């Protein structure tokens, strides 16, 4: 049996190391009573050499999601729930209602005849429509009738309600900047006072007024888009045209950024979104950036490999690439990917980075 023998400390004083460790522990305990802590014990985790995301790559397949969300229709009404949403929880951040470090995501369903009552809050929201036809989101008096692939914006403090006058359930992906708003401890919310808003503008007025190469005379510039609904019917042909013109990014495909048409900036100060068409057989080059990103497959079929993990996606599947994870897209069929992240917020703070 080997016998362990204590090495003589380099300074030649037996027990010196033990003494300094004990002295340090004693010191740490004493300063803790004054609500202080030594930086040198936490510095490496506090200021990492590279971004460290607690989020993990994850995919929700629509077939699973739809049946589970449909089940909730028999358990609670939209009015009772306020919003009938199943949170998409990143397994790396259980219990925190986050899908990336800064964003919340959920699947919302409105059954025929239901209303999700009007309210407003500091958090901004986007909806990306997955299923159904003809339910609406009303935002500050404009009622947008939604179709699959539509991208609907509810900016910070804009009153909004949802309703379904169609005969089919409608499901969409909700993404909100709630974790970011709560990081800043700036959350306010209030009910509108009545379940629905007075409609003061026709469906499509905001897109027509602001998104058509003209602007209402005297239009005021805000850091959020005045457009309520970026319809799929209007955006899809644009990426198709880009692809036909050969404007295909080697990492992202033929991709457009949803823009505030007044400023050219992002649609919201905290969240930005893209729509990309990938040609059949597309094999993307590796890419990573500091904005953890939520993708939705609007059409097609393919895979996204994230740090060696393969996420195989098809129509209406939702998947997440965490911050600074190297990933590559491949498309086995011509595909359309919608994506959303907190990139505008990072860019405004001057901390966004990418590696091509
Ligand atoms: Fe809301």
In the prediction, which pLDDT does 12 show?
52
Contact 116, 82 (CB under 8 A): yes
As a whole number of angstroms, the distance between CA 45 and CA 286 comes to 27
Question: 173 alpha carbon to ligand 1 midpoint, in Å?
Answer: 13
Question: 158 alpha carbon to ligand 1 midpoint, in Å?
Answer: 9
For 333-343, write each residue's pLDDT tens digit.
Answer: 999 999 999 99
As a whole number of angstroms, the distance between CA 331 and CA 295 comes to 14
Question: 57 alpha carbon to ligand 1 midpoint, in Å?
Answer: 27
For 98-135, write each residue's pLDDT tens digit.
Answer: 999 999 999 999 999 999 999 999 999 999 999 999 99
Label residue 322 by pLDDT band (50, 70, 90). very high
Q: What is the pTM of this model?
A: 0.93
Q: What percent of the chain clears pLDDT 90, i.e. is strictly above it?
A: 87
Question: 119 alpha carbon to ligand 1 midpoint, in Å?
Answer: 6
Question: 80 alpha carbon to ligand 1 midpoint, in Å?
Answer: 14
Question: 104 alpha carbon to ligand 1 midpoint, in Å?
Answer: 12
Question: 121 alpha carbon to ligand 1 midpoint, in Å?
Answer: 7
Question: 74 alpha carbon to ligand 1 midpoint, in Å?
Answer: 22
In the prediction, which pLDDT does 15 show?
77
Q: Is the pLDDT at 77 greater than 90, yes or no? A: no
As a whole number of angstroms, the distance between CA 306 and CA 287 comes to 10
Mean pLDDT of 257-278: 97
Q: Is the pLDDT at 314 greater than 70, yes or no? A: yes
Mean pLDDT of 131-140: 94
In the prediction, which pLDDT does 2 show?
41
In the prediction, which pLDDT does 13 show?
62
Q: Is the pLDDT at 58 greater than 90, yes or no? A: yes
Question: 301 alpha carbon to ligand 1 midpoint, in Å?
Answer: 31
For 232-245, write each residue's pLDDT tens digit.
Answer: 999 999 999 999 99
For 10-23, write each residue's pLDDT tens digit.
Answer: 555 657 888 999 99
Q: Is the pLDDT at 1 greater than 50, yes or no? A: no
Tell me the residue length of the chain.
356
Q: Is the pLDDT at 271 greater than 50, yes or no? A: yes
Question: 108 alpha carbon to ligand 1 midpoint, in Å?
Answer: 11
As a whole number of angstroms, the distance between CA 77 and CA 242 comes to 43
Question: 120 alpha carbon to ligand 1 midpoint, in Å?
Answer: 6
Looking from the CA of 2 toward its CB, the CA atoms found within 13 Å total 3
In the structure encoding, which two tokens stand for residue 352, read together?
Answer: 């966004």
In the prediction, which pLDDT does 263 show?
93
Question: 139 alpha carbon to ligand 1 midpoint, in Å?
Answer: 10
Question: 264 alpha carbon to ligand 1 midpoint, in Å?
Answer: 26
In the prediction, which pLDDT does 5 show?
44
């Amino acid at each position: 049996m080997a016998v362990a023998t204590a090495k003589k400390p380099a300074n030649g004083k037996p027990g010196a190391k033990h003494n300094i460790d004990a002295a340090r522990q004693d010191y740490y305990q004493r300063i803790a009573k004054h609500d202080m802590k030594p930086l040198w014990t936490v510095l490496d985790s506090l200021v990492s050499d590279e971004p460290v995301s607690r989020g993990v790559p994850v995919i929700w397949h629509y077939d699973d999601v739809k049946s589970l969300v449909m089940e909730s229709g028999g358990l609670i009404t939209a009015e009772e729930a306020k919003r009938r949403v199943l949170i998409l929880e990143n397994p790396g951040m259980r219990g925190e209602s986050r899908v990336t470090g800064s964003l919340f995501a959920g699947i919302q369903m409105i059954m025929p005849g239901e209303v999700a009552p009007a309210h407003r809050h500091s958090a901004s929201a986007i909806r990306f429509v997955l299923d159904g036809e003809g339910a609406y989101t009303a935002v500050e008096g404009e009622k947008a009738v939604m179709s699959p692939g539509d991208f609907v914006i509810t900016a910070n403090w804009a009153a909004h309600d949802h309703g379904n006058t169609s005969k089919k359930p409608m499901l969409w992906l909700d993404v909100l900047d709630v974790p970011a708003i709560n990081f800043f401890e700036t959350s306010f919310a209030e009910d509108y006072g009545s379940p629905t808003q007075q409609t003061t503008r026709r469906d499509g007025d905001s897109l027509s007024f602001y998104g058509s190469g003209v602007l209402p005379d005297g239009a005021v510039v805000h850091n959020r888009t005045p457009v309520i609904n970026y319809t799929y019917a209007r955006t899809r042909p644009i990426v198709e045209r880009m692809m036909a013109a050969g404007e295909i990014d080697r990492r992202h495909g033929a991709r457009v950024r949803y823009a505030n048409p007044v400023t050219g900036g992002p649609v919201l100060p905290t969240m930005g979104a893209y729509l990309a068409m990938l040609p059949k057989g597309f094999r993307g080059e590796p890419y990573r950036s500091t904005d953890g990103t939520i993708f939705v497959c609007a059409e097609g079929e393919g895979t996204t490999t994230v740090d060696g993990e393969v996420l195989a996606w098809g129509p209406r599947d939702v998947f997440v690439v965490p911050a600074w994870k190297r990933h590559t897209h491949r498309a086995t069929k011509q595909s359309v990917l919608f994506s959303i992240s907190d990139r505008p917020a990072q860019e405004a703070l001057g901390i966004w980075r990418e590696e091509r």
